[in-house]
Copies of this chain bind each other. A is one copy, B any other.
Amino acid sequence: MADMIRAGLVGITGYTGMELARLLAMHPRMRLVEACSRAEAGRRLGDFYPFLEKLPGADVCISEFHAQRMAAACDVVFLAVPHGTAMEMAADLIAAGTRVVDLSADFRLRDAQVYEQWYVPHTRQSLLPQAVYGLPELYADQAARSRLVANPGCYPSSAILGLYAALKHDLIQTDGIVVDSKSGTTGAGRKATVSSLYCEVADTFRAYGLAKHRHTPEIEQEVSLLAGREVHVSFNPHLVPMNRGILSTIYTMLKNPATTLDDVHAAYSRTWAGSRWIRVLPKGKLPETRFVRGTMFCDLGLAVDPRTGRLIIVAAIDNLCRGASGQAIANANLMCGLPVETGLELAPLMP
C-alpha cells in the first residue's frame, strides 16, 4: 500500500459510483480508501455491494461526507453526486488541499450563463477557469496540471470523439450536424422509478428529450472549439434495452461532395494512429457497443453516401467506463502522475 494513490469516492449508490468501485478494485496503483454516502453511512462497502467481496475496497466503511477528512485521507476524490451538490463539495475539497474529479456537469461548461440556462444557478463560478474538460485525447496535458477536472458527459464523449477528425481535417460542414444517440439503461441512473423498471424497458425502444437534452451545450462547446466557430448541433437521445453502451450515429454534410470514403478513412486513421483507445474500424465495418463493453475504447465507423453528400460517423463507447468512471480514473491517473492507462488496460467482456 505504500506507493498506492489514495482515492476517495463520494456517492456510491449510483451506477457511476458502482463502476468506480469496480475499476478501483482492479487498479494496481490506486486504492479506494474512503467512500461516502449519506444513505448508507456506517455499512461496510462489501456488505452494500456483495459483488465486491474479497476484492480491494470491500472493507472500506461507508461514511458521511466531510471535506477536511476526505482531503486529508485522499490524494484524489471522485464526485459521483448530482449537479448542484458537486460544485459545493468540489470547492470545499480543493480548498482543503486535495484533487477532484467531478463526474457531474458542474464544471463542464466554460460559460456560467450557458450552464445556468440548462441547469441551475452556479454558485462556484470562480472555479470555472481552473477546471479542465477531462477528455484525455484533447486535454491530457491540462488535466495533468490541474486540481479540478470536469469529467465529460457520456453522450458528449462519443459525439466529440466521433467528430474530432472530421473537424480537424475540415471535411464537413459545421451546419446541420445531427447526433442521433442510443444509450444503454444505466444512463438513466439507479433511482427507483417506474419508467426504468425492467418490464418498462425490456423488449421496447424509445426516444426521449429530443432537441432539449442537457448534453447539447456540452457537445456544442467542444465542437465549436474544434471548428473555430459557433456550431449548433441537433442532439437526440434514445433508450436501448441493454445495460451499458452508447452508439451515436452522427449525420454530417461533406464540405466537398467529391470526398470519398477512402479520403475520410485515411484522415481518421492518420489522426488516431497512435491512440491507445480510439479504434478506427476497417472500411465497411461498423461499431457495436459490446466490442467496447467495460473498457475505455471508442470505436469509430465511417460511411459516405454520395447520393446525399453525407458523411455518417458511428461512435461507440461504454457509457459507464469511457463515458464516466473509467475516464474519471484516467483523469485521476494524469493528475496523480501515473500513466493515463494505469488500471484501464481492460479487455471488453464478450459477450
Interfacial chain B residues near A288, Cβ < 8 Å: 204-206
A347 interface residue per 8 A CB criterion? yes
Known A-B contacts A198-B241, A207-B286; the reply to A347 vs B26 at CB < 8 A is yes
Contact B182 A182 (CB under 8 A): yes
Q: Is B234 a contact of A203 with CB atoms below 8 Å?
A: no
Is the CB of A314 closer than 8 A to any CB of chain B?
A: yes
Closest chain B residue, CB of each to CB of A51: B291
A129 at the interface (CB under 8 A from B): no
Residues of B within 8 A of A19 (CB): 350
Point out the residues of chain B lying under 8 angstroms from A285, CB to CB. 50
- A140 within 8 Å of B (CB atoms): no
Q: In the bound complex, do residue A345 and residue B251 qualify as a contact, i.e. CB atoms below 8 Å apart?
A: no
Number of interface residues of A (CB under 8 A): 91
Asked if A83 is at the interface of the complex by the 8 Å CB criterion, the answer is no
Interface centre among A199, A208, A251, A301 (most CB of B within 10 A): A199
Q: How far is the CA of A350 from the CA of B349 in the complex (A)?
A: 11
Whether the pair B206, A185 counts as a contact (CB closer than 8 A) is no
- The A101-117 residues at the B interface (CB cut-off 8 A) are none
A182-B238 Cα distance, complex, nearest whole Å: 10
A207 x B314 contact (CB < 8 A): yes
Closest-by-CB residue of B relative to A242 is B203
One of B52, B55, B236, B294 near A349 (C-beta < 8 A):
B294
Does B286 contact A208, Cβ atoms closer than 8 Å? yes
Residues of B contacting A294 with CB < 8 Å?
294, 349
A211 and B26 within 8 A (CB): no
Residue of B nearest to A18 (CB): B350
CB-defined contacts of A245 to chain B, threshold 8 Å: 203-205
Segment touching B, from A64-72, A146-154, A189-197: A189-197
| Contact for A197 among B190, B249, B291, CB less than 8 A | B190
Q: Does A305 contact B (CB under 8 A)?
A: yes
A293 and B349 in contact (CB under 8 A), knowing A211-B303, A281-B50, A287-B206? Answer: yes
Min Cβ gap A137→B in Å is 14
Min CB–CB distance A341 → chain B (angstroms): 11
Q: Is the CB of A54 within 8 A of B297?
A: yes
Residue among B178, B192, B292, B351 making CB contact with A15, cutoff 8 Å: B351
Known A-B contacts A182-B182, A182-B205, A192-B194; the reply to A305 vs B54 at CB < 8 A is no
Q: Are the C-beta atoms of A243 and B210 separated by less than 8 Å?
A: no
User: Which of chain B's residues have a CB closer than 8 A to the CB of A190?
Assistant: 194, 197, 199
Q: Contacts of A208 on B, CB cut-off 8 Å?
A: 286
Would you call A243 and B308 a contact (CB within 8 A)? no
**Chain A stretch 203-223: residues in CB contact (< 8 A) with chain B:** 203-208, 210-211
Q: List A12-50 residues whose CB lies under 8 Å from chain B.
A: 15, 18-19, 22-23, 25-26, 47, 49-50
The complex places the Cα of A297 from the Cα of B46 at a distance, in Å, of 14
Write out the residue numbers on chain B whose beta carbons fall within 8 Å of the beta carbon of A55. 345, 347
Interchain Cβ contacts under 8 Å between A and B, 15 examples: A18-B350, A50-B291, A50-B299, A54-B277, A182-B205, A182-B238, A186-B199, A190-B194, A199-B351, A205-B242, A210-B305, A211-B310, A234-B305, A234-B308, A236-B249
